Each structure stands twice: as C-alpha cells, then as structure tokens.
Amino acid sequence: MKIVVKSSELRRDSPCAFVPTMGALHAGHASLVTKAHEFTDHVIMSIFVNPLQFENPNDLARYPRTPENDIELAANSGVSELWLPHYDEIYPAEIEKISAGFLGTLYEGATRPGHFDGVLTVVQRLFDLVKPRWAVFGEKDFQQLTLIRTLRSDVKIVGAPTIRDIDGLALSSRNILLGEKREHALVISQALFAASRESDLTQAQIVLHNILASDPEFRKDYAEIIDESPGVKRAIVAGWVNGVRLIDNMSMERISS
Ligand code: PAF
C-alpha cells in the first residue's frame, strides 16, 4: 500500500474505487474496501477529519484519531493507495460550499445544523481531486448515503451493508468513546431488530419506542419509520449514550404499505 499526501501523487493509470473516511478505522471500513474490490483492485482510501461537518467544536476535538491502527487496517484490508490530505488541499481559499437542501435539515440535520452541507462539500471536493469511477459509503449513515447519491452523476455511488458486533451494536468510530456504558448502546439494535420482525407499522413503531425507552441511559433524539422508497420502510434511530451520539437504521421488510 502506498501512502500519499497530495492528490497529485495518486495513480491515474486505471479507474479507481474510492472509500472516503475520517479514520478511526474498524471492520466496517474494511468491509467498504472489500465492496470496492468488487469493481476494481485500484482502491483509494482517504482519511480526513472534516471540520466543516462538525457543528460542535467539542465533538470535533473528541472525535477518535488512531493513525497507526488506521494505516495497518487499511493495508490489511486491501487499500492500494491511502491518501492523507492536508487541510489546505481540501479547503483552499475559495471553494464552492454545497447545500444539502431540505433533506439536509431533517433527522440528523435537525440536531446537527449544517452537518450535511459540510459532508456534501467535502465529498464533492474529494471527488474532484480523486476522480473516482466508484465510491463506497456505509448504509449505517443512511441519510448521508441518500444525500450523496444526489450529488453528481459521474461517480457511481455504492452502498455497503452495516457491519455489527456479535451483540448487534453497529460498528462506529465513536463506539470507543462509550467506555463502560457500551452495553446501554445495545438497546438501539435490539429495538431495530424487534421492530423489523413486525409486519404492522403501528406495532413496529410501538415496539421500537418501548424498547428504546427501556434503557434510562439511552437518550433518544429521534426514532422513526420512514418511507425509504415507495413501498419500502426503514427505521432510523439516533440518540446518546454516555454523551456519545449514535445512529443506526434497519430496513423494515415485513411491513407493506
Ligand atoms: O462517513 C464519513 O466518514 C464522513 O462523513 C465522510 C463521508 C468521509 C465525509 O467526511
């Protein structure tokens, strides 16, 4: 695996698949690289903690950074080029800021104003510099994936399934901040799995809310069953455990509209 700092050092000899990340890599990121290999062996991963998508400076300061582990995991998962850009290359004096529009103000965007504007702005910039043919994003950040799909047509956006720990917790870079309260985060996936076994929408909503309410250490932000596309429902959940914001989602395949 080659490590590069400037995008001009990236190989241009074959179309690449791109896995943008903010580091603190885990098996979920490795699965994105595996997905990228379905398209090509030329897989570029970036690690850039994007200040523009953090509306809260404390959250940015606290975001986990594990550079040595990241390099090892990227190499072992099959990344061909690991790009570690400097801030100035991503954000030169003048760049176009992208608005995530109305969808960017809902759910995650309601609690984190401007978050998705920051995500779309950095992804657009990363795409401009890498020029990938494919780009892989996790379904765990479902709203992010949905918004990125609307960004441009020259990059094929590929979604990859959420990877979970054996006890159901969706892998997230933030999980290491949970510490001894980790077990309280399990209520999220327990609620999603239980709701997904229901075939009636109202019953699924009751199950979702009741299980989330059963753990006093989980502070709910939102828990909703939305229309992902005509006839397809998805439950989306966000909240805090031990001050750590967690999100998760699951397709509600048994509910028909
Ligand atoms: O999902 C992430 O890690 C980030 O939001 C992304 C897509 C790399 C943009 O900074």
Render pLDDT for 122-146 as a digit per residue (tens, 0 to 9): 999 999 999 999 999 999 999 999 9
214 alpha carbon to ligand 1 midpoint, in Å?
31
Model pLDDT, residue 64: 97
Residue 257 has pLDDT above 70, yes or no: no
Pocket of ligand 1 (CB under 6 A): 20-22, 50, 53, 119, 122-123, 141, 144
If one counts every other C-beta atom within 10 angstroms of the C-beta of residue 153, the result is 7
DSSP string over 154-214: SSEEEEEPPPB-TTSPBP-GGGGGSGGGHHHHHHHHHHHHHHHT-SSHHHHHHHHHHHHHT
Render pLDDT for 47-85 as a digit per residue (tens, 0 to 9): 999 999 999 999 999 999 999 999 999 999 999 999 999
Q: What value does the mean pLDDT take over residues 187-210?
A: 98
Render pLDDT for 203-224 as a digit per residue (tens, 0 to 9): 999 999 999 999 999 999 999 9
Say what percent of the chain tops pLDDT 70: 100
Model pLDDT, residue 256: 83
Model pLDDT, residue 106: 98
Domains annotated on the chain, with CATH: 2-160 (3.40.50.620), 173-248 (3.30.1300.10)
* Nearest atom (ligand 1) to Cα of 53: 10
**Which residues, listed in sequence order, are joined to residue 251 by a DSSP beta bridge?**
234
Protein residue with its CA nearest to atom 2 in ligand 1: 21
Q: List the catalytic residue out of 29, 42, 86, 115.
A: 29
Tokens matching residue 208: 């979702």
4 alpha carbon to ligand 1 midpoint, in Å?
19
Model pLDDT, residue 142: 98
What is the pTM for the complete model shown? 0.97
Task: Give yes or no for a contact between 196 and 252, defined as CB atoms under 8 angstroms apart.
Answer: yes
